[in-house]
Chain A
Amino acid sequence: MTTIHVHNRINTLFAEKKSPILSVYCTAGFPHLEDTVPVLEALQDSGVDMVEIGMPFSDPIADGQIIQESSTQALLSGMTTELLFAQLGNVRSRVQMPLVLMGYVNPVLQYGIERFAASCAEVGIDGVILPDLPMEVFVKEWQPIFQRYNLHHILLVTPQTSDARIAMLDEVSSGFLYAVSSAGTTGGALSMDDARTTYFERLQRLRREKKIANHIMIGFGIHDKASFDAACEYADGAIIGSAFVKALSGTSPEQIQSKVQGFISGLR
């Protein structure tokens, strides 16, 4: 686990809250371009512990149809990395929970790695998830910059990841370790079969044996209360993405607060 010092809200969250942690993914600029911050506020008011803000990309290969379509819609509305940081400019006067940016490597490269890290620090982003940025490249070219800006970089592990590589990924990852529930893109449905149980128990064992130092959050396929509860049996918490994005689809700006409240209360 890479140590990020100073006050990082992700560290504080895991230090202070032991019960299952609920993290929710939302697409920036979705369902409408100006909805980014209102959605964050509604999520906080609903008692969500952490949010991953999806930075839309034209070719999101790790995502399923729902997140891809929300990304396309956001891009058509005019969402950009620049605009997202502008929207988040005052977010910390209103939102206190940890905020993580999740996206793909190319838009960040075009924005500039150092400039991106600086913008994250400026608006109060606590961590970043870039699924198509290989660990090896991150360590060489990105890590020193992220550390300078007190920014967590959260890595993924999957059922196909070997124990040895999990240990390596855990060493580099900080904030938490993102456990992808099963082979597949986002938007599937978690099925708690034998393979799932074996994988989750493997992660638990590695954590017990201190081969995983990070907290573990499970994502991909977590879509309702049952799958959230099932995942939380084995981890510190779980992440809901596509199901939430789908629920928001077609919601008018006026309905966002109630829609989000309704969705989140269904998980408790």
Chain B
Amino acid sequence: MTTPSLTTASTHYGVSESGYYGDFGGAFVPEMLYPNVEHLRSVYLDIIGESSFQAEFAALLRDYVGRPTPLYFAQRLSDFYKTRIYLKREDLNHTGAHKINNTLGQILLAKRLGKKRIIAETGAGQHGVATATVCALMGLECVVYMGAVDIERQKPNVERMKLLGASVVAAKSGSQTLKDATNEAMRDWITNPDNTHYIIGSVVGPHPYPDMVARFQSVISEEIMRQLEEKEGRTYPDYVLACVGGGSNAVGAFYHFLDDARVRLVALEAAGKGVDSGFSAATTALGKPGVLHGSRTFLMQTPDGQVVEPFSISAGLDYPGIGPIHAHLFSAGRAEFHAVTDDEAMQAGKFLARTEGIIPALETAHALAYLEKLGAKPDEIVVVNLSGRGDKDLQTYIGGVQERPH
């Protein structure tokens, strides 16, 4: 059984007392949200540090989510890329992705805060489903904001949320995607400050959200350490690969290796149709520092400071910013960031299906696509965080580009 080390934080890359990662982070919220955010900030470490909280969280992760997830040695994939590749199977979690690690932690927190109503934003619907799931589990009212465009293109997840008892509200402003769903969720929280907790789905938003979400996801790297020790006799890999939209699965996979210089941390962003195509979500390549959704981070924006609409084939990476911790890891050179195109991701996803019998989420496929360029040596150990399963992407896979010739 796992006991997540919720109280461990990186000395060099963890959040400061004032809520910053280097120059990034903070809590840029209107005064209307200040009491809620400040209250959360003042209690979150104490609450998640309580032994009763940790016991309840660990028990649910084990019995309800199905943790620990396997660290699977991918033999055929390893043979192909001539290195030693492990897949951290977050796709085997209940609801099919890493998202539930966070929603479960936050719902336990919300209960201790006495909140009766939960709101969330969602892009592809994975976080929405994970939130609706834990709300059903705890008997709390759940309202999920989702861009009207995303509601159209992710119908099965909308139906799943409704079946779980959640209300799905269409965000009809702006581009009607994840960014706008987040705006609407924040407006709801402004309007319902007393009875409502906002479960943000990634390491974005005002402090303490990025740190809180990172801690709930840190169970991923904690398990990787222990599982590698069992399988390889060492607690660290040479590389960790993860895709980054907001960046919650990447933070979870990086977390316990942040201070370990032996581990190369590799974050893969969505290049969309190409970094310079005008249809991209490669935030570190295209963005510059700015403030959105409560924190200072890298942001895709016009010279006038208006947020630019991102583009990616994967709805989960279709976000114009990244979590402030990633902005810091990028600026400090601790993690390397690369961009992977829609086509590359699609091919890598299909390749994994044929090679290992695992259909990954299109988000995850971005991380897999970089294996070809990684240049890992035959005796090196590579861990890819397999953040989600690809059932939701079936239509895109079927209608997509041709698979790689080999």
Interface residues of A (CB under 8 A from B): 57-62, 64-65, 68-69, 72, 75, 80-82, 104-111, 131-134, 137, 155-158, 160-162, 165, 169, 180, 183-185
Contacts and interface: CB of A to CB of B under 8 A. Distances in A.
Interface in B182-214: 183, 186-187, 190-194
B32 A158 contact: yes
Interface stretch (B92-100, B269-277, B296-304, B354-362): B296-304
Q: Tell me the interface secondary structure of chain B in the complex.
A: mixed
A184 B291 contact: no
A59 B174 contact: yes
Contact of B35 (A108, A132, A161): A161
16 contacts: A58-B174, A59-B174, A61-B183, A61-B190, A64-B187, A72-B173, A75-B306, A81-B305, A105-B28, A107-B306, A109-B291, A132-B28, A132-B29, A160-B193, A161-B31, A183-B193
Interface of B: 26-32, 34-36, 173-174, 179-180, 183, 186-187, 190-194, 289-294, 299, 301, 303-307
A253 to B, nearest CB: 24
B28 A133 contact: yes
B193 A107 contact: no
Nearest to B184: A61
Given A75-B306, A132-B29, A134-B28, A161 B173 contact: no
A131 B187 CA distance: 13
Given A59-B183, A134-B27, A183 B32 contact: yes
A119 B291 CA distance: 21
Contact of A137 (B26, B179, B186): B26
A111 B35 contact: no
Given A59-B307, A62-B32, A161-B31, 15 more contacts: A60-B183, A61-B186, A61-B190, A62-B190, A68-B174, A81-B304, A82-B304, A106-B290, A110-B305, A137-B28, A158-B32, A160-B36, A169-B31, A183-B194, A185-B187
A59 B176 CA distance: 12
A59 B182 CA distance: 10
Contact of A185 (B36, B190, B303, B306): B190
A154 to B, nearest CB: 11
A141 to B, nearest CB: 11
A75 B173 CA distance: 14
B27 to A, nearest CB: 6
B290 A110 contact: yes
B301 A106 contact: yes
A-B pairs with the 4 shortest C-beta distances?
Answer: A110-B305, A107-B305, A131-B30, A80-B304
Contacts of B292: 59, 106
A68 B173 contact: yes
Contacts of B299: 106
Contacts of A58: 174, 306-307
B190 A111 contact: no
A112 B28 CA distance: 17
A165 B31 CA distance: 10
Nearest to B308: A58
A241 to B, nearest CB: 15
Nearest to A156: B31
Contacts of B301: 106, 110
B318 to A, nearest CB: 15
B148 to A, nearest CB: 14
A157 B32 CA distance: 8
A107 B32 contact: no
